Amino acid sequence: MKYLCLVCYDEKTLDAMPKEEFEPFSEAHVALDEELRRNGNSIVAEALQPVSTAVTVRVRNGKLSTTDGPFAETKEQLGGIYLIEARDLNDAIQIAAKIPAAGLGSIEVRPVWDLRRHEPRVGRE
């Protein structure tokens, strides 16, 4: 089953990290992705540019509007994603716990809803 791991942390903490701490932190994420790929768990892993580069898109009553910045005011920002393959939720949680950014913020783990299968979404049976 596919799970999306949303990597969330306070960008200010990352921005304040000295280069000699940031580089090993970043390299640890790359190493984890390589390990997950070898194990058959990684589908994709990507880091995101800073939240200042975000644009939020909404369509209301057929009208498009855009807003600079993230979709919500929050202490933590979405900083990256891991799309993984796991046996079940417990396996996905164990994989998410290995993501180095879990030590700075949080990792939201969510099952992926396969739109092509036309099966009910969890909570919509």
Q: Please tell me the predicted confidence (pLDDT) of residue 123.
A: 58
Q: Is residue 123 assigned to a domain? A: no
Q: Quickly list DSSP for 79-111.
A: EEEEEEE-SSHHHHHHHHTT-GGGGTSEEEEEE
For residue 122, name the pLDDT band (cuts at 50, 70, 90): low
Q: Could you give the percent of the chain with pLDDT greater than 90?
A: 58
Q: Is residue 125 assigned to a domain? A: no
Q: Is the pLDDT of residue 105 over 80?
A: yes
Q: Is residue 124 assigned to a domain? A: no
Q: How many residues in the chain? A: 125
Q: Quickly list DSSP for the chain.
A: -EEEEEEEE-HHHHHHS-HHHHHHHHHHHHHHHHHHHHTT-EEEEEE---GGG-EEEEEETTEEEEEES-SS--SSEEEEEEEEE-SSHHHHHHHHTT-GGGGTSEEEEEE---GGGTPPPTT--
For residue 101, name the pLDDT band (cuts at 50, 70, 90): very high
Give the other-Cβ count within 10 Å of 56's Cβ: 12
For residue 85, name the pLDDT band (cuts at 50, 70, 90): very high
Q: Please tell me the predicted confidence (pLDDT) of residue 121.
A: 58
Contact yes or no for 32/100 (Cβ under 8 A)? yes
Average pLDDT score over residue span 24-43 = 95
Number of domains in the chain: 1
Q: Domain containing 53: what range?
A: 2-117
Q: Please tell me the predicted confidence (pLDDT) of residue 88.
A: 93
AA identity, residue 60: R
Q: Is residue 75 assigned to a domain? A: yes
* Chain segment 47-81, per-residue pLDDT in tens: 998 888 888 888 899 998 888 876 656 677 889 99
Q: Is residue 122 assigned to a domain? A: no
| CATH number for 75 | 3.30.70.1060
